[in-house]
Amino acid sequence: MDSQDEVPFHIVTPLKESSALSRRAGTPVLIKLENIQPMGSFKIRGIGHYCQKLAKKGYKKFVCSSGGNAGLAAAYACNKLGLPATIVVPEQTLKHVIQRLEDLGAEVVVTGKVWDDADAHAHRLAEAPGSVYISPFNHPLLWEGHSSLVLEVKAALGNQKPGALVVSVGGGGLLSGIIEGLTRVGWSDVPIIAMETLGAHCLNAALEAGKSVTLPDISSIAKCLGAKTVCDRALECARKYKVISVAVDDKEAVQAIEMFLDDELMLVEAACGAALAAVYSGHIQRLQQEGKLEQLQGPLIMIVCGGSAISLSELQNFKSQLGMI
Ligand code: PLV
What pLDDT digit, counting tens, does each position of 303-321 carry?
A: 999 999 999 999 999 999 9
Q: Produce one character per residue of 252-268: b if its CB has 16 or more CB atoms within 10 Å, e if not.
A: bbbbbbbbbeebbeebb
Q: Could you tell me the distance, in angstroms and rounded to a whole number, from the CA of residue 174 to the centre of ligand 1? A: 8
Query: Taking 80 as the threshold, does the pLDDT of residue 284 lie above it?
Result: yes
Q: Is 41 in the pocket of ligand 1 (CB under 6 A)?
A: yes
| Residues 190-204, mean pLDDT to the nearest whole number | 98
Listed residues 73, 107, 138: the one ending a domain: 138
Range of the domain at 116: 43-138
Helical residues (DSSP H) of 158-213, grouped into ranges: 173-184, 202-209
Q: Quote the pLDDT of residue 185.
A: 98
| Residues 282-302, mean pLDDT to the nearest whole number | 98
Atom of ligand 1 nearest to the CA of 272: 8
Q: In this predicted model, which residue has the larger pLDDT, 158 or 6?
A: 158
| Residues 76-99, mean pLDDT to the nearest whole number | 98
Instruction: Tell me, yes or no, whether 149 and 298 share the same domain.
Output: yes
Strand partners, 301: 30, 165
| Candidate from 62, 137, 192 with most ligand 1 atoms within 8 A of CB, to mutate | 137
Q: Could you tell me the distance, in angstroms and rounded to a whole number, from the CA of residue 1 to the centre of ligand 1? A: 31
Using a pLDDT cut of 90, give the percent of the chain over it: 98
Instruction: Tell me, yes or no, whether 66 and 191 share the same domain.
Output: no
| Residues 220-243, mean pLDDT to the nearest whole number | 98
Instruction: Tell me, yes or no, whether 267 and 147 share the same domain.
Output: yes
- Number of structural domains (the chain) is 2
pLDDT (tens digit per residue) in 93-139 = 999 999 999 999 999 999 999 999 999 999 999 999 999 999 999 99
Query: Taking 90 as the threshold, does the pLDDT of residue 270 lie above it?
Result: yes
Residues 184 and 153 sit within 8 Å (Cβ to Cβ): no
61 CB-near residues (< 8 Å, 6+ apart): 83, 84, 85, 86, 128, 130, 131, 132
Instruction: Tell me, yes or no, whether 267 and 145 share the same domain.
Output: yes
Instruction: Tell me, yes or no, whether 170 and 198 share the same domain.
Output: yes
Q: DSSP letter string over 62-115?
A: EEEE-SSHHHHHHHHHHHHHT--EEEEE-TT--HHHHHHHHHTT-EEEE-SSSH
Q: Quote the pLDDT of residue 1.
A: 40
| Candidate from 41, 64, 69 with most ligand 1 atoms within 8 A of CB, to mutate | 69
Name the pTM for this structure: 0.98
Listed residues 138, 169, 193: the one ending a domain: 138
Residues 68 and 93 sit within 8 Å (Cβ to Cβ): yes
Instruction: Tell me, yes or no, whether 208 and 266 share the same domain.
Output: yes
Q: Is 226 in the pocket of ligand 1 (CB under 6 A)?
A: yes
Q: Is 33 in the pocket of ligand 1 (CB under 6 A)?
A: no
Residues 286 and 150 sit within 8 Å (Cβ to Cβ): no
Instruction: Tell me, yes or no, whether 184 and 78 share the same domain.
Output: no
Instruction: Tell me, yes or no, whether 23 and 34 share the same domain.
Output: yes
Instruction: Tell me, yes or no, whether 114 and 172 share the same domain.
Output: no
Query: Taking 60 as the threshold, does the pLDDT of residue 4 lie above it?
Result: no
Q: Tell me the CA distances in angstroms from 19 to 29, 33, 102, 193, 238, one per residue in order.
A: 7, 15, 39, 20, 30
Would residue 186 be called left, alpha or beta, if left means φ above 0 and alpha means ψ between -120 and 50 degrees?
left
> Nearest 5°: phi and psi at 313?
-70, -35
Q: Can you tell me the distance from the alpha carbon of 33 to that of 30, in angstroms, rounded to the nearest whole number?
A: 9
Q: Could you tell me the distance, in angstroms and rounded to a whole number, from the CA of residue 17 to the centre of ligand 1? A: 24
Of the pLDDT bands very low, low, confident and very high (cuts 50, 70, 90), residue 278 is very high
CATH number of the domain to which 207 belongs: 3.40.50.1100
Atom of ligand 1 nearest to the CA of 230: 22
Residue 163 carries which DSSP code?
A: S
Instruction: Tell me, yes or no, whether 29 and 174 share the same domain.
Output: yes
Instruction: Tell me, yes or no, whether 88 and 174 share the same domain.
Output: no
Q: Quote the pLDDT of residue 2.
A: 43
Q: Is 168 in the pocket of ligand 1 (CB under 6 A)?
A: yes
Query: Taking 70 as the threshold, does the pLDDT of residue 5 lie above it?
Result: no
| Residues 146-157, mean pLDDT to the nearest whole number | 98
Q: Is 115 in the pocket of ligand 1 (CB under 6 A)?
A: yes
Listed residues 87, 109, 138: the one ending a domain: 138
* CA angle, 151 then 156 then 157, to 5°: 100
Instruction: Tell me, yes or no, whether 257 and 194 share the same domain.
Output: yes
Q: Quote the pLDDT of residue 6.
A: 75
